[in-house]
Amino acid sequence: MRKWQRSSGEGEEGASVKGGGSEERTGIEMNVVSRDKVESMGSMEKLRFILDGVKSGNIVVLEGGLTAEEQMKLIELTMLEVDDSFTGIEISGYPARRGLLNLRKKTRLTIIGPAAKMKTIKKDKDLISAIISTT
């Protein structure tokens, strides 16, 4: 079973979908989070949301993405939580675009998954190819 959910923002508690009742999960859950939702969260809230999702085995896709500083902080947080069962994250994103007056960088999209399940195989400025293992 493969589950997809897109979060539209207001009034939602993230985009996580859990297997309900006695239904057994056999696939990968993917949480696609809207720009509105991403922008409504503070930095730490965002990172916690991502890491909790990824540690549960989910793929998290953020519309609008993470800034370089947030990504560095995410790496730091991830390292604090690496253990025998959680080996870390795979993170990929489209390169940022320069914003107004070439000053502010605007991120476009970031995809984060558990390192044990996701592997980026190719990336350029407009394409990310990844293999997601279901085993």
Partner 1 sequence: MKGALSRLIMALFFRKKSVKIGIYGPPNAGKTTLANRIIHTFVDDNEDMGVATEIPHETRRVIKREGVLIDLKRLILNSNSNININISSSSSNRNRERSTRRSRGRGRGRAKLMFDIVDTPGLATKIDFRDFMAYGMEEEEAKRRAKEATEGVIEAIKWLDDIDGVILLMDSTADPYTQTNVVIIGNMEARGIPVIIAANKIDLPDATPQRIINAFPQHRVVPISALKGDNMEELYEEMAKVFR
Closer of 18 and 98 to partner 1 (Cβ): 98
Total chain residues near partner 1 (CB under 8 A): 29
Cβ closest to partner 1, residue 3 vs residue 119: 119
* Residue 47 found at the interface with partner 1 (CB under 8 A): no
Residue with Cβ nearer partner 1 (85 or 134): 85
Answer for the pair 41, 49: CB distance below 8 angstroms, yes or no.
yes
**Residue 66 near residue 39, CB atoms below 8 Å:** no
Q: Which residues contact 5 (CB under 8 A, 6 or more apart)?
A: 15, 16, 17, 30, 31, 32
Distance CA(101)–CA(91), nearest Å, equals: 28
In the complex, the smallest distance separating the C-beta of residue 116 from partner 1, rounded to whole angstroms, is 8
Q: Report the DSSP beta bridge partners of residue 32.
A: 6, 61
Rg of the chain (C-alpha set): 15
Nearest distance in Å: CB 61, partner 1: 14
Residues 66 to 125 in contact with partner 1, rule: CB under 8 A: 67-69, 71-72, 75-76, 78-80, 82, 84, 87-93, 95-96, 103-105, 115-116, 120, 123-124
Q: Strand pairing partners for 112? A: 60, 91
- Note the residues at the interface with partner 1 (CB under 8 A): 67-69, 71-72, 75-76, 78-80, 82, 84, 87-93, 95-96, 103-105, 115-116, 120, 123-124
